[in-house]
Amino acid sequence: MTQSRHLLAIVVVCVFAAGGAAFDAFRFIDDALWNVRFSIGSRPASGDLVLIDVDPSDIIELQSASAVRGMYASVVDIVLGAGATDIVVETRLSASTGGSGDDLLAAALARGAGKVRTVAYASPTASRSHETPTFTRPLGRFSSIAPPVTMAALPDADGVVRHYQTGANIEGRFVPSLAAALNPGTVPDQDSFAIDFSIDAATVPVIEVGDVLNGRIDVGQLAGKQVVIALSGATLQQSVLVPRFGVISGGVVQALATETLRQGRPLIETGIWTQIGIVVAVVSAFIFGCTRVAVVPLALGCAGCAVVLELLVLALHMNSAIVLDTTAVHVALVGLLSVGLVRELEIRGLSIMNAAQERDSMRGILSRVVADNFDGVVVVDTRHRVRAASRFACELMGSDLVGQTIEASLPGTFVTALTAALGEGKTVDEAAEIRIAPRESEERIIEYVVTISEAASEEESAGQAGRVACLTFRDITERRLSEARLNYLARHDAQTGALSRIALVEALQDMMSTSDGRKRGATVFLVGVHRLKIVNDTLGYGYGNRLLQQVVTRLQGAGTSVVARLEGNSFAVLREGFLGNDAQDFARALITRISRPYAMAGHHAIVGASVGMTDSELSGCDPDTMIRHASMALSVAADRHGNAVVPFAREMTERIRHKQDMEVALRAALARGEFSIHYQPQVDLETNAVVGVEALVRWTHPQLGRISPGEFIPAAEETGLIIDLGRWILKTACMEVAGWPQPVRLSVNVSPMQFEYGDIVSDVRDALASSGLSPERLDIEITEGLLVTETGHAIDKLDRLRKDGVRIALDDFGTGYSSLSYLGRLPVDIIKIDQSFVRGLPDDAEATAIIRAVLMLSESLGKGVIAEGIETIDQAWVLRLAGCQTGQGYFFGRPASAADTLAAITAPVEDRFEPGKLD
């Protein structure tokens, strides 16, 4: 019966492997293997074919199709003059541009008649749907001089190009492909062939078209070469997905196909029947020769078979251009190995079952004794041999105790107690405790008793007493450890192992006390770790905790007597004596230690630190006062740039008072109406029309005058007043803008605290209802940090606002946590490009590339774009050419009151902006 199951399993393995090969189920694995083989068998290109790369930016700079064709004409003439044997011009020539460029190109093609070819392009939809493609031929004036060829790369069902056509019938006439046309004598007698991607694409000579036109290269190197003038792969239309190299340009694919024919290496595909034949052969060999082989030799044999097969296939590919998929064979080998493993487990299971039956007969003697006891049980007879033992006892002692002597298997304390019970009848009635280490480096705390029982046995039938001693014990290690843990947690931080605040106060008190009642000097250093939130947000809180543990270790290694953790990222260090000349040096040494890079499970992080310090001479001998003063100094150090060290000074109490006064003043200002709204225009870069305004809050204090938002906004965030202030800003701005004659849009910044602690949805709805402003005219601006820290909660609220008609704008894009994959899933309608990127325009190429990428991404995702910080006409002009719809910045206007903003909006467009308009 078991043998039948094994044979059935082998048949299933064979059918599964063969079926997977027949239905191409293992394609993705075979593709990965072929990528490895292509890389191992890599060979260089011949160098006889040269690509002249035309970047799309070169075409864009020419600004007209006629100029582009003129450029191609110039390149053709240069290449012909250099002595190239064949030239293929890859550009669409199916329509006339109406300019002189057509005549120039036609003349250049005529001068190269017999050497130059053009390209007939297939319809893109047909290539995606695998239908018979329709082709667009070049105009007759071009194709009559330069016969066309086709770009015949064929994508498979998964979109990967592996094959290449030899040509296509266009309007009843056979037109060869580019590769076939350049290698007429090596074209296989079939419609298509497999490209050999072991030819290294990096070895195909590529020359930039700008270098050719500007004479920056020696065109004499093109003599006797075949030249393809092709667009680069910077656009999706020209990019192709291929094995080994991933996404490459269409021109490189044409070059690889041409090199495949030139080197005589069109790949010969063996087909699925070869795979199925090998699978059947492997399974047959297993059935007739390996069914009784042990698992380890079988595993080694399967592995050796797989290695030999891969080496053979690699050799066939490198020497004969023959390809064979092998995944089905490997799947069959794994399946056969699994069958062997199952068979081995069944055999061992039968052996274990027989042993268990024998043990059950022996356990029957003392089954009642073992059943009446709890936890560990060891029953010993008068010969000091273990007659029975519970599972827990065997596990604790690390061996099967039954049949062993107690002297050889049990700790000495147990042996003494059992010997006394068996010889003198002395029992251990009250629980006693011992510490034992039954296994290496593992100590356990055991509570035990010893009792005596009389049991019927063979000795009793012979006239001897059947006395047995029963050792009953339990492991109380966890209970004792829990008690010790509770005592430890009362004086230590559970997360880092540093002392707690209570223990710190006690240690500081002990440090200052002497036996004669006098006080010694003590210094408190409070260390604040910076940028810990970045680690938590990017790597997770688990890595943040590991980092804090390493911080404590480094502080303990700095020669300090006491290290304590006071709060999330604040640590205290104690030293004897007063603040002296070396205090600054010691504090700097602590910062240096903490600021070194941290390695955590493959990740690295860098944090900063600030130090606030005081001593018993400055702050007195009260520990709580000293810690509070050091905390004030740390607060001042944290507000400074970099890793600062600040000793306590009396005036710091004034700083705390100032923060409290700022909170009081903010509350009073909100009650007295000291806040006002200013507006900065947002302008359509195409028409110069104002399409929206951003609301910005301003505070004018009756005594202090105008206070910077950079001062009171963080204070409002810290105190929670931002919720009430933000609600007032939203409502006031909606009321003012709703009354303007022009229906411009209104943008209002919203704090993350309004999402987390307030009811932002109700606030927006109330502001719209009370002002009468249409929801379609309101934009809510959020920052990226909101979507990282409160993603699920925030997205739910954003979705509700969008359903009401309100648009969502992502402010300062690119400076925080945004990623391209993440952005597509966010409920965001508008992306605001941060001014740090705009500031570099038009000279900063990196900033230009980033902005262009953001604009392309936004267009594909259907999101609007507003560029912030536009200060010059050049910046506005470059952004408009790049496709940006809306701009904002000092070039269009500084933030102004509602009346001044309204006057600017209603002014004629030609008088609105200085120093000039975009046109």
- pLDDT classification of 364: cutoffs 50, 70, 90: low
Q: Position 56: which residue type?
A: P
Tokens of 666: 């903010």
**What is the pLDDT, as a whole number, of residue 566?**
85
- Per-residue pLDDT reduced to its tens digit, 515-528: 565 677 888 888 88
Among 135-149, 359-373, 574-588, 744-758, the least confident range: 359-373
Burial class (CB in 10 A: 0-12, 13-18, 19+), 128: exposed
Mean pLDDT, residues 704-711: 83
- pLDDT classification of 765: cutoffs 50, 70, 90: very high
Contact 209, 229 (CB under 8 A): yes
Task: Answer whether the bond into residue 297 is a cis peptide, omega within 30°.
Answer: no
Pairing mode, if any, of strands 830-833 and 807-813?
Answer: parallel
How many Å apart are CA 793 and CA 814, to the nearest integer? 22
How many Å apart are CA 175 and CA 120, to the nearest integer? 9
Which residue from 866, 867, 869, 857 is spatially nearest to 826, judged by alpha carbons?
857
Mean pLDDT, residues 726-748: 92
Q: Which residue has the higher pLDDT, 334 or 372?
A: 334
- pLDDT classification of 203: cutoffs 50, 70, 90: very high
Among 193-202, 361-370, 553-562, the least confident range: 361-370
- Is the model's pLDDT at 661 over the cut of 70? yes
- Is the model's pLDDT at 513 over the cut of 70? yes
- Is the model's pLDDT at 286 over the cut of 80? no
Tokens of 346: 């069944």
Structure letter (DSSP) for residue 223: T
How many Å apart are CA 228 and CA 176, to the nearest integer? 15
**What is the pLDDT, as a whole number, of residue 626?**
83
Among 606-615, 647-656, 675-684, 845-854, the least confident range: 647-656
Among 358-367, 436-445, 796-805, the least confident range: 358-367
DSSP string, 15-54: HHHHHHHHTTTTHHHHHHHHHHHHHHT-B---S-EEEEEE
Contact 866, 809 (CB under 8 A): yes
- Per-residue pLDDT reduced to its tens digit, 393-438: 887 777 788 888 888 888 888 888 888 888 877 777 667 777 777 6
Chain mean pLDDT for the chain? 82
How distant is the alpha carbon of residue 840 from its chain centre? Answer: 29
Half-sphere exposure of 913 (CA within 13 A, CB side): 26
Dihedral sign from CA coordinates of 26, 32, 35, 37? negative
**What is the pLDDT, as a whole number, of residue 342?**
80
**What is the pLDDT, as a whole number, of residue 861?**
84
How distant is the alpha carbon of residue 445 from its chain centre? Answer: 46
How many Å apart are CA 489 and CA 478, to the nearest integer? 16
| C-alpha Rg value of the chain to the nearest Å | 41
> Which segments of 41-190 does DSSP mark as H helices, in order?
56-62, 65-82, 100-111, 124-129, 140-143, 178-182
Our CA dihedral for 504, 509, 514, 515, rounded to 10 degrees, sits at: -100
- Is the model's pLDDT at 506 over the cut of 60? yes
How many Å apart are CA 448 and CA 445, to the nearest integer? 10
Distances, alpha carbon 752 to alpha carbons 530, 695, 720, 757, in Å: 21, 17, 11, 9
Structure letter (DSSP) for residue 518: -
- Is the model's pLDDT at 26 over the cut of 80? no
**What is the pLDDT, as a whole number, of residue 116?**
95
pTM strictly above 0.75? no
- pLDDT classification of 919: cutoffs 50, 70, 90: very low
Contact 245, 201 (CB under 8 A): yes
**What is the pLDDT, as a whole number, of residue 515?**
58
How many Å apart are CA 794 and CA 708, to the nearest integer? 29
Tokens of 525: 């250093």
Which residue from 575, 590, 415, 602 is spatially nearest to 511, judged by alpha carbons?
575
**What is the pLDDT, as a whole number, of residue 126?**
46
Mean pLDDT, residues 473-497: 80
Distances, alpha carbon 918 to alpha carbons 68, 207, 693, 881, 911, in Å: 27, 37, 19, 11, 12
- Is the model's pLDDT at 137 over the cut of 80? yes
Which residues, in sequence order, are CB contacts of 441 under 8 Å at separation 6+?
Answer: none
Contact 303, 178 (CB under 8 A): no
Mean pLDDT, residues 277-287: 78
∠ CA 911-915-917, nearest 5°, is 60
Across-strand partners of 895?
none
Tokens of 92: 């669409």
**What is the pLDDT, as a whole number, of residue 196?**
92
Helices (H) and strands (E) in the chain, counts: 37, 37
Half-sphere exposure of 646 (CA within 13 A, CB side): 25
**What is the pLDDT, as a whole number, of residue 523?**
86
How many Å apart are CA 611 and CA 527, to the nearest integer? 5
How many Å apart are CA 866 and CA 747, to the nearest integer? 11
Burial string for 240-270 (b: 16+ CB within 10 Å, else e) reads bebbbbeebbbbbbbbbbbbbbbbebbbbee
Structure letter (DSSP) for residue 896: B
**What is the pLDDT, as a whole number, of residue 906?**
81
The highest-confidence range among 366-375, 535-544, 760-769, 849-858, by mean pLDDT, is: 760-769
**What is the pLDDT, as a whole number, of residue 762?**
92
**What is the pLDDT, as a whole number, of residue 128?**
45
**What is the pLDDT, as a whole number, of residue 764?**
94
Dihedral sign from CA coordinates of 868, 870, 876, 879? negative
Burial class (CB in 10 A: 0-12, 13-18, 19+), 557: exposed
How many Å apart are CA 712 and CA 734, to the nearest integer? 22
Our CA dihedral for 110, 113, 115, 116, rounded to 10 degrees, sits at: 40
Q: Position 82: which residue type?
A: A
Tokens of 183: 């290698």
Which residue from 836, 884, 841 is spatially nearest to 859, judged by alpha carbons?
884
Dihedral sign from CA coordinates of 885, 891, 896, 900? negative
DSSP string, 792-858: HHHHHHHHHHHHTT-EEEEEEETSSS--HHHHTTS--SEEEE-HHHHTTTTT-HHHHHHHHHHHHHH
Helix, strand, coil abundance in the chain, percent, nearest 5: 50, 25, 30
- Is the model's pLDDT at 727 over the cut of 70? yes
How many Å apart are CA 364 and CA 778, to the nearest integer? 84
How many Å apart are CA 409 and CA 390, to the nearest integer? 14
Our CA dihedral for 183, 185, 186, 192, rounded to 10 degrees, sits at: 80
Contact 336, 302 (CB under 8 A): yes
Which residues, in sequence order, are CB contacts of 664 under 8 Å at separation 6+?
Answer: none
Pairing mode, if any, of strands 745-749 and 778-782?
Answer: parallel
Among 6-15, 165-174, 266-275, 550-559, the least confident range: 6-15
- pLDDT classification of 371: cutoffs 50, 70, 90: very low
Tokens of 408: 């050889």
- Per-residue pLDDT reduced to its tens digit, 429-440: 667 777 777 665
- Is the model's pLDDT at 271 over the cut of 90? no
**What is the pLDDT, as a whole number, of residue 770?**
93
Among 347-361, 456-470, 657-671, 739-753, the least confident range: 456-470
Our CA dihedral for 662, 665, 666, 669, rounded to 10 degrees, sits at: -160
